[in-house]
Amino acid sequence: MTTTEHPNAGPDITGASIRLEQVRKQYKGQGEPAVADLDLDIAAGEIVAFVGPSGCGKTTTLKMINRLVEPTNGRIYIGDRDVTHENPDELRQSIGYVIQSGGLFPHWTVERNVGAIPRVLGWNKAKIAERTTDLLRLVGLDPDEFGKRLPKDMSGGQQQRVGVARALAADPPVLLMDEPFSAVDPITRVRLQDSLIDIQKKVGKTIVIVTHDFEEATKLGDRVVIFSRGGHIEQYGTPAEILANPANDFVREFIGSGATLAQLSLTRVKDVELEQVTTALVDEPSDRVIDRARAAKTSWVVVVDDKKQPRAWPSVDEIATAPTVSSYIDARLPLVAPSSTLQDALDVMLAASQGGALVTDRTGGLIGWLRISRVIDIIRTQLDEAQPDEVGYAEFAEAEADNGGPNTGELNPDGLGTGGPDTGGDRS
């Protein structure tokens, strides 16, 4: 039915391996070391996610890789280079670093922020300008629209995209990210995660990302490291391995009761057959759109622009209130990418109070939609496979009946029924 192949497979690898040997950090005045005798090998071109409870040493470990924190002991290699003896300033110019709030210089334009390290490295102006344009496009920002803006005139999600562009500016083999998406709203977070997967497919760097969210770790990580206190590795493996075979009680407890549902984060939107959508163009005569919708036996359409990017998701009744299709842009459309997990899709549907999500490709063009009942069917199958005796059809059938039964007939996109998208918030 579905596959669990990781979407990060197959980039041209430009990243370098990272190796930690007996690395230790003892902060002054602390009784126990923050990180004790850590050995870790990270393969070139992989995304490795660090997770674990607060204070277990994730940030300390990350910062020892670029020597924002000096190790008390041990060696760290990037590729063949022992970086523990390199000049820390030069080292940091060759390692991208992204933190929670983007960490942009607030009084600098986006262009100036992205070009910061190339300028230090003495690149000429033309090369910096070209690189900046390319990178803004790569992270999904229009260089003409955003190049001259200040960070304060952008959403948190957009600032975070600039942060990623800046970190990639000097083409570093390694990108370190410390909870980069934890300060944005759930819909923006899903988009930023999908963007990162997409970017990684193109650039093939080695990425180490710290997160406190196990689902985020399983979505982004080719491999996941689960840490306990003192930077102790409890398990290091692929998300599928960890979910199928938690190494010990600590891991089982950390993954928690959501372990079965976490399987949902292994199933991607691209693994599910999507349904076709009837589309309409701005200014198109409404009669024509309504005829088309009737022929397709649907009560709603998606308004798209000339690049097939969705603008709004009106019902046929709404279309009928005007002679031509309105140019209205709905900023809260539930959008997911093929690399989004089913868990993301559910989150996005619920956050937007919609009975489905629109699926767009990497250029933002509409490729279909996924209805909530399809996701529920898959959850039901996975639950039955995972624990046939604990949760069966009966319980789900009951839950479904309470919800008004998403499987009965066609589901209006407003099917969850709070009157459509309404909440404001951070946009990516």
Ligand X SMILES: Nc1ncnc2c1ncn2[C@@H]1O[C@H](COP(=O)(O)OP(=O)(O)O)[C@@H](O)[C@H]1O
Q: Toward Mg ion, which CB reaches closer, 57 or 143?
A: 57
What is the rounded distance in angstroms from the CA atom of residue 92 to the CA atom of residue 169?
12
Q: Which does 34 bind (CB under 5 to 8 A by kind): ligand X, Mg ion, none?
A: ligand X
Angle at 361 between CA 360 and CA 365, to 5 degrees: 65
Shortest spacing between CB 33 and ligand X, in angstroms: 8
Supply the DSSP string of 390-426, one letter for each residue: TS-HHHHHHHHHHTT-TTSSPPPTTTT-SSS------
Q: Which is nearer to Mg ion, 59 or 200 (CB)?
A: 59
Window 297 to 336, contacts with ligand X (CB under 6 A): none
Interacting residues with ligand X between 15 and 54 (CB under 6 A): 27, 30, 34, 52, 54
Q: What tokens does 145 get?
A: 């629209």
Taking the least distance from each CB to ligand X, the nearer of 179 and 194 is 179
Q: Which residues from 49-88 bind ligand X, rule CB under 6 A?
A: 52, 54-60
How many residues of this chain interact with Mg ion, rule: CB under 5 A?
Answer: 1
Residue 56 binds which entry of ligand X, Mg ion, none, CB below 5-8 Å type-dependent: ligand X
Tell whether residue 59 is a contact of Mg ion (CB under 5 A): yes
What CA–CA distance (Å, rounded) separates 51 from 213?
7
Kindly tell me which of 69 and 240 has the beta carbon lying closer to ligand X: 69
9 CB burial (10 A radius; 0-12, 13-18, 19+): exposed
Minimum CB separation of residue 323 from ligand X in Å reads 58
Structure tokens at 300: 């709603």
Minimal distance, residue 59 CB to Mg ion, in Å: 3
CB nearer to Mg ion: give 17 or 60: 60
Integer Rg of the chain from CA:
23
**Secondary structure letter of residue 27 according to DSSP:** -
* Partner from Mg ion, ligand X, none binding residue 105, C-beta < 5-8 Å depending on class: none
Beta carbon of residue 62, minimum distance to Mg ion (angstroms, whole number): 8
Element (H, E) at 76: strand 73-78
Phi, psi of 48 (to 5 degrees): -115, 125
- Name the residue nearer to Mg ion (CB basis): 17 or 59: 59
Q: Which does 408 bind (CB under 5 to 8 A by kind): ligand X, Mg ion, none?
A: none
Residue nearest to Mg ion (CB): 59
Separation of alpha carbons 291 and 372, rounded Å: 26
Residue by residue, DSSP assigns 229-253 as TTTEEEEEE-HHHHHHS--SHHHHH
Query: Residues interacting with Mg ion, by CB under 5 A?
Result: 59
Query: Residues interacting with ligand X, by CB under 6 A?
Result: 27, 30, 34, 52, 54-60
